[in-house]
């Protein structure tokens, strides 16, 4: 990466990072392989994942003294999830700085959640090596602060589709599928989504886009699954 590119990214990050470490944090294994086996960002990603985990865990522990271990774990999971970190990476414009091989570039690697998430962790690892824990804590809390605040109140609602998929897997009832119908003129389209687990419909949602309708269907299905589990547990206890 050229010096101007490094400087622009450092400005976007809002904290100084050693240029060589920063470039390493952006080096995907596909690029490293094509470049003759140079180092990748995977070791920095490993470090950054651990640093991120302790910072978020401590923050949640200190700021939510009345929450249970299970609640704190859910909030941490939502905050450090692939979805959350890739969103942070997009806000920083990290994708345009990634060093990817030709194959990954050709398949839209610059905007893949998995690659953006891993790179974000690698950047955090680079910041930690340059500055230590406390400046990195400030950096991380600035980046994920909004997600931390949301996690306290939303829980599963941060992504109903993912949450219902995880709940369905835990209950071994199969993977969710969606049937989406639409009506109305093109400029005022209305969508209705139905979530199925096997042959049974568990939730219906509607909205002005397919994505909104599916999220609402997933929310209703999640609540129905929870209610069903509670009823089953009550019957077992009797």
- Sheet containing 177-183: which strands, arranged edge to edge? 177-183, 190-197, 200-207
Residues in Cβ contact with 128 at an 8 Å cutoff, skipping those fewer than 6 apart: 47, 48, 51, 136
Among candidate residues 10, 173, 175, the one with its CA nearest the CA of residue 92: 10
Q: Binding site residues, as ranges? A: 45, 118, 121
- Report residue 99: phi and psi, to 5°: -100, 105
Residues 126 and 122: their CA atoms lie apart, in Å, by: 6
Candidates 104, 121, 214, 219; catalytic one: 121
207 forms beta bridges with: 191
Catalytic annotation present for 228: no
Catalytic annotation present for 49: yes
Candidates 49, 104, 214, 219; catalytic one: 49
Q: Binding site residues for Mg(2+), as ranges? A: 45, 118, 121
Residues 182 and 211: their CA atoms lie apart, in Å, by: 12
Residues carrying an active site annotation: 49, 121
């Amino acid at each position: 990466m050229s010096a101007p590119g490094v400087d622009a990214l450092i400005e976007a990050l809002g904290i100084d990072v050693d240029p060589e470490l920063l470039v390493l944090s952006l080096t995907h294994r596909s690029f490293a392989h094509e470049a003759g086996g140079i180092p990748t960002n995977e070791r920095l990603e490993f470090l950054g994942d651990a640093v991120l985990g302790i910072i978020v865990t401590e923050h949640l522990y200190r700021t939510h003294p009345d929450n249970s271990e299970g609640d704190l774990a859910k909030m941490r999971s939502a905050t450090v999830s692939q979805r959350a970190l890739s969103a942070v990476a997009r806000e920083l414009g990290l994708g345009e700085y990634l060093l990817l091989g030709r194959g990954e570039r050709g398949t839209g690697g610059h905007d893949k959640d998995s690659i953006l998430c891993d790179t974000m962790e690698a950047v955090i690892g680079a910041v930690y090596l340059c500055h230590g824990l406390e400046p990195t804590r400030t950096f991380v809390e600035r980046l994920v602060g909004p997600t931390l605040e949301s996690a306290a109140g939303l829980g599963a609602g941060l992504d109903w589709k993912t949450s219902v998929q995880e709940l369905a897997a835990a209950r071994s009832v199969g993977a969710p599928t969606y049937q989406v119908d639409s009506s109305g003129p093109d400029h005022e389209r209305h969508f209705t989504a139905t979530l199925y687990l096997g042959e049974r419909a568990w939730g219906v949602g509607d909205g002005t886009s397919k994505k909104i309708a599916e999220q609402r269907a997933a929310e209703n299905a999640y609540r129905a699954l929870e209610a069903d589990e509670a009823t089953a547990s009550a019957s077992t206890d009797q």
